[in-house]
Amino acid sequence: MDKRSVYLDHQTTTPVLEEALQAMLPYFREVYGSPSSLHRFGLQVREGLKEARQKIAALINAESEEDLIFTSGGTESSNLAIKGFADANHRKGNHIVVSAIEHPSVMNSIEYLTKHGFEVSSVPVNAIGQINPEDVRAAITDKTILVCVHLVNHDIGTIQPVKEIGKITAEKGIALYCDALAAAGWMPIDVRDLGVQLLSFSPHRFYGPKGIGVLYRNRKARVTSHIHGGVQEGGRRAGTENVPAIIGAGVAAEVAIKEMSQRVEHVAMLQKRLYDGLWKHIKYIKLNGPVPGPLRICNTLNLSTEFIEGEGQLLLLDYQGIAVASGSSCVSKSLKVSHVLSAIQLDHALAQGNIIMSLGKDNTVEDVDYVIETFPKIVDKLRNMSPMWKEFEEGVIDSVIAPTGRGKSFTQHAADISGKPAH
Amino acid sequence: MKETKEYTLYNDTVMDHFLNPRNMGDVQEADGVGEVGAAACGDIMKISLKIRDGKIEDARFKTFGCGSAIASSSMATELIKGRTLEEAKNFSNQEVVDALGGLPPVKIHCSVLAEEALKAAIEDYEAKQAKVPVVA
């Protein structure tokens, strides 16, 4: 029997657009020169790269395509932005301000810097994962050289007040780096309006190929190269360019601009339908991050279903043809719940039951209705298997989402029987 | 996807025990119940036992946890049914891992949780036995 296949993990990666693939193909075997070469093979590729660069620059309204540095992916772009900027500017100060819920490529790059003389202030977020610009202002010291805030959270979809933060950094004369990984291609981005000096993203999140990342760096922000070799990318990132991927990224950016409003409208409609449908059919379910609307990116829902764990939900959904992600500790290789869920102070029991569904342009109403029909059955199956569900019904433990006033908290119960507090 | 191969996170045995768990539920009027939690990941497992003539007549589980935790408790209850209490006290998580055809290294603790839940249920049974005077 053919199962319906519904991919709901577009915040992890997306398929390559047909137009992008077709544009890439000649660059593998026909137009295969290196752009550094001075002969016609190389010069022909240069022209293709310049066009791609212009299309990608247009996606973020960069002043010039020369402000883009191509890397191997979003992770390398964050590393280059943070470590490269810190290296180039360490004489001005050794303090960095960062939000508590950044992507691991940002968090871990900054953690690396703390082992090399840098100090960090982490700015907390509120219950829906929003940074307060005034908290950023308060964290800035006379040693601060860089503020790092993402545009959209990769887990819970919160859109951040980057423009307001940009006004503060401009006023203080500090650089602002914005990780736009979860935003690019899914909402309009204007680096000049945001007031950022550095911004990174990854085209495979919006129907471009993997293996290519972008770092926008305006001329006011100096970054020191971390990949040493030849003078590709204006000497800021050595190594022969991944030409086919850059060409594909250019097409993905061009199509993203052209289709932005209809893509956003379609996906936001599906997001609302999925949210309404799941909340109608499942009890004790919580949305993490803002409700669908102006504060949330159009394509994701992050939910916690109480009394059950996330990996089991993910596996049963996959078995029914529905691909999702989870921030549960059982899913992570470190056995720790997502630091984003910890930062919004989500109860441990709810963090364990976490599922992330992220929609794409090719998802349909039928796909969403299939999820709305399938997921409640999975929740029932797992609740039936979970000791917590019966213990809740018997009043031994209480619900976090809709407390009845009977019983102790799940977290307390878990700590009592495991002998240690849950993390 | 058009391919015929099924890609699953765990091997076929683990997936089978996860998708079709054996002995799921609670033993009615259980003689021993053990509920344990894993501090490492937050999973919770409960095993209830029916014990007759020093043997485990029935064993059932309920689990709040991932696929491998559910499969581990399903397999553990399968393995211990029919064993004497003495045998069950020597039960080791390795037996669950072997019977499941292996677990990913990061998931071995799920099988440990099954062993602990079983032993907690036996302890509970023995504690109850010690309290109740034998009726002549």
B65 CB near a chain A CB, below 8 Å?
yes
Query: Do A168 and A23 fall into the same domain?
Result: yes
Give the residue ranges of chain A where pLDDT is below 50: 1, 422-423
A65: DSSP letter: G
Q: How buried is A45 (Cβ within 10 angstroms: 0-12 exposed, 13-18 middle, 19+ buried)?
A: buried
Question: Could you give the CA distance from residue A217 to residue A199 in angstroms, rounded to a whole number?
Answer: 7
- Which residue among B41, B44, B66, B108 is the active-site one? B41
Query: Do A100 and A192 fall into the same domain?
Result: yes
Domain that holds residue A398: 260-418
Asked if A309 and B45 come within 8 Å (Cβ–Cβ), the reply is no
Residue B1: predicted pLDDT: 52
Contact yes or no for A70/A241 (Cβ under 8 A): yes
Residue B48: its H or E element? strand B44-52
Q: Is B102 left (phi over 0), alpha (psi -120 to 50) or beta?
A: left
- Per domain, the residue ranges of chain B are 12-129
Q: What is the total count of domains within chain A?
A: 2
Query: Do A151 and A229 fall into the same domain?
Result: yes
Q: Where are the alpha helices (DSSP H) in chain B?
A: 12-19, 67-80, 85-89, 93-99, 108-131
For chain B, give the mean pLDDT. Answer: 92
Instruction: Specify the long-range contacts of residues A136-141, CB closer than 8 Å, at least 24 apart.
Output: A136/A97, A136/A99, A136/A165, A136/A168, A136/A169, A137/A168, A137/A172, A139/A97, A140/A97, A140/A168, A140/A172, A140/A174, A141/A93, A141/A95
Query: Do A196 and A313 fall into the same domain?
Result: no
Domain boundary among A206, A229, A256: A256
Residue A423: predicted pLDDT: 43
Question: Could you give the CA distance from residue A88 to residue A220 in angstroms, rounded to a whole number?
Answer: 12
CATH number, domain of A222, equals 3.40.640.10
Residue with tokens 């053990």: B34
> How far does Cα B126 stand from its chain's mean position?
18
pTM given for the model = 0.94
**Secondary structure of residue A118 in the 3-state scheme:** coil
Residue B134: predicted pLDDT: 63
Asked if B66 is an active-site residue, the reply is no
Asked if A309 and B43 come within 8 Å (Cβ–Cβ), the reply is yes
Residue A422: predicted pLDDT: 46
State how far residue B30 is from chain A, nearest Cα, in angstroms: 15
Query: Do A366 and A250 fall into the same domain?
Result: no
CATH number, domain of A393, equals 3.90.1150.10
Domain boundary among A215, A232, A256: A256
Query: Do A305 and A362 fall into the same domain?
Result: yes
A2 CB near a chain B CB, below 8 Å?
no
Query: Do A127 and A273 fall into the same domain?
Result: no
Asked if A330 is an active-site residue, the reply is yes
Helix axes A243-281, A40-59, angle to 10 degrees: 30
> How far does Cα A207 stand from its chain's mean position?
15
Residue A327: predicted pLDDT: 83
Query: Do A78 and A204 fall into the same domain?
Result: yes
Query: Do A236 and A305 fall into the same domain?
Result: no
Tell me which chain B residue has its CA closest to the CA of residue A311. Answer: B66
To probe the interface with B, which of A309, A320, A392, A397 has the most B CB atoms within 10 Å?
A: A309
Q: Is residue A2 part of a domain?
A: no
Tell me which chain B residue has its CA closest to the CA of residue A3. Answer: B1
Domain boundary among A235, A256, A277: A256
Q: Is residue A51 part of a domain?
A: yes
% pLDDT > 70, chain B:
93
Query: Do A184 and A246 fall into the same domain?
Result: yes
Question: Could you give the CA distance from residue B35 to residue B52 in angstroms, rounded to a whole number?
Answer: 21
For residue B32, what are the β-bridge partners?
A: B49
Of B21, B35, B106, the CB nearest to A385: B21
Q: Which residues 6+ apart lie within 8 Å of A290 measured at CB?
A: A128, A129, A130, A157, A158, A159, A296
Question: Could you give the CA distance from residue A11 to residue A357 in angstroms, rounded to a whole number?
Answer: 8
Q: Which residues 6+ apart lie within 8 Å of A236 measured at CB?
A: A69, A80, A84, A217, A223, A225
Architecture of domain B12-129: Alpha-Beta Complex (3.90)
Query: Which residues from chain A sit within 8 angstroms of residue B108, using beta carbons?
Result: none
Residue A215: its H or E element? strand A213-217
Residue A363: predicted pLDDT: 98
A185: DSSP letter: T
Query: Do A188 and A336 fall into the same domain?
Result: no
- What ipTM did this prediction achieve? 0.93
Interval B10-22 mean pLDDT: 97
Q: Which residues 6+ apart lie within 8 Å of B73 measured at CB?
A: B21, B45, B47, B61, B62, B63, B113, B114, B117
Residue with tokens 């009977």: A406
Query: Do A216 and A77 fall into the same domain?
Result: yes
